[in-house]
Amino acid sequence: EISPPAVLRGNASEIMALAGAAGGGKGVDSTEGSDAALEAAKSLAAKYGCVVCVSGATDYVMGPDANAKVMTCPHGHEMLTKVTAGGCLISSVIAAFVCSRPEGTSVQESAALACTYYGLAAEVAMKTSAGPGSFRVNFLDCLYTLSKDNCDIPVR
């Protein structure tokens, strides 16, 4: 028997498939909105005792406790769907935030903060991008440089 992950992240179709629910997908691309996977995500969080993130236009972050509040992140940009490996990258950002979280910050809070940081970086990057090629480069640069001092987008 192996230990469960601290965080399980996927798009709606991936989370629904992992939970055994019907969901459509085209390869790794989701054909469902992130809100369609909320029940599946809650089920997985309870079953494995881990945080579950459903990424999409709005990111949802479920805690392992049935009474935990569902955290949301409305930040991001549709251009993220036009570049390859966005899902892999947000998983890496979540991992970095979770493993370096300050004492007293929960795994769920860290995952939600990671989604917010990632989404804000996408919004800032899109301001100077003409299309997917320039967005990809600008987005990677924003992930590297974004701070409260150079982000003019209010957190929602």
What CATH number is given to the structural domain containing 99? 3.40.1190.20
Q: How many domains does the chain fold into?
A: 1
**Which structural domain range is residue 20 located in?**
7-145
Average pLDDT over residues 2-6: 88
**Is residue 80 in a domain?**
yes
pLDDT at 62: 96
> If we measure between CA atoms, which residue out of 86, 40, 35, 29 comes closest to residue 57?
35
Radius of gyration of the CA atoms of the chain, in A: 15
Q: What is the dihedral of CA 119, 121, 124, 129, to 10 degrees?
A: -100
Q: What DSSP character marks residue 130? A: S
Angle between helices 132-145 and 107-126 (to 10 degrees): 130
Position 59 pLDDT exceeds 90: yes
**Is residue 12 in a domain?**
yes
- Residue that is written with structure tokens 């917010």 in the block: 116
**Is residue 156 in a domain?**
no
52: which residues sit within 8 A by CB, 6+ positions away?
A: 7, 8, 9, 15, 41, 42, 44, 45, 61, 62
**Is residue 34 in a domain?**
yes
| pLDDT 10s digits, 106-117 | 999 999 999 999
**Is residue 13 in a domain?**
yes
pTM to 2 decimal places: 0.90
**Is residue 1 in a domain?**
no
**Is residue 136 in a domain?**
yes
Sign of CA dihedral 134, 144, 35, 40: positive
| pLDDT 10s digits, 120-129 | 999 999 999 9
- Report strand pairing: 7-11 vs 51-55: parallel
**Is residue 42 in a domain?**
yes
148: which residues sit within 8 A by CB, 6+ positions away?
A: none
